[in-house]
């Protein structure tokens, strides 16, 4: 009986994992922010080359810049603040599963590789639904990066 009481009082039991809908709304806010930043940065390209797309291999210059801004936003905000602006608004924070500080490798796997998989493979967007059904509310990108999204107290 004492073991049951001790495990109930551990610090990890006070952690509340952020659910699907909280994370969804935070992500929508982040997308609005990234689209706004891209809009400001990419306006000059509409006046170059008479509005025609400039291609670099398979990419357009504006497509490459907007992708870089997208990944850098999530990577740098999560590294330096443990949350993006959307997560700040909704009171969410990204933590490592072992409660250590987030490392660059954790975030490269979570924010770059995990998000890249979700964006490149259309069907992979459905994998975000894992958040709704796992006990610690982890998406595939959280599992890859050994991270959790929690509600701040």
pLDDT given for residue 79 in this prediction? 95
Per-residue pLDDT band at 25 (split at 50, 70, 90): very high
pLDDT given for residue 13 in this prediction? 58
DSSP state of 114: I
pLDDT given for residue 52 in this prediction? 59
Number of alpha carbons in the 13 Å side-chain half-sphere of residue 71: 18
Which conformational region is residue 49 in: left (phi greater than 0), alpha (psi within -120 to 50 degrees), or beta? left
**Domain boundaries, given as residue ranges, for the chain:** 16-151
Per-residue pLDDT band at 150 (split at 50, 70, 90): very high
Which stretches within the chain are classed as H helix?
Answer: 2-8, 20-47, 61-81, 85-90, 104-107, 115-120, 130-133, 140-145
Q: Is residue 139 scored above 80 in pLDDT?
A: yes
Token duo for residue 99 = 């409660």
């Amino acid at each position: 009986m004492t073991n049951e009481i001790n495990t109930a009082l551990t610090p990890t039991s006070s952690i509340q994992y952020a659910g699907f809908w909280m994370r969804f709304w935070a992500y929508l806010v982040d997308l609005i922010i990234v689209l706004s930043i891209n809009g400001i940065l990419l306006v000059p390209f509409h006046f170059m080359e008479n509005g025609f797309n400039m291609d670099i291999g398979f990419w357009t210059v504006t497509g490459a810049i907007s992708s870089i801004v997208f990944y850098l936003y999530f990577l740098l905000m999560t590294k330096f603040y443990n949350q993006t602006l959307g997560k700040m608004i909704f009171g969410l924070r990204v933590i490592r599963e072992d409660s250590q500080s987030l490392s660059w490798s954790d975030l490269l796997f979570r924010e770059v590789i995990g998000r890249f998989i979700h964006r490149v493979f259309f069907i992979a967007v459905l994998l975000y639904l894992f958040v709704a059904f796992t006990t610690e509310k982890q998406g595939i990108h959280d599992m890859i990066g050994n991270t959790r999204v929690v509600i701040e107290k």
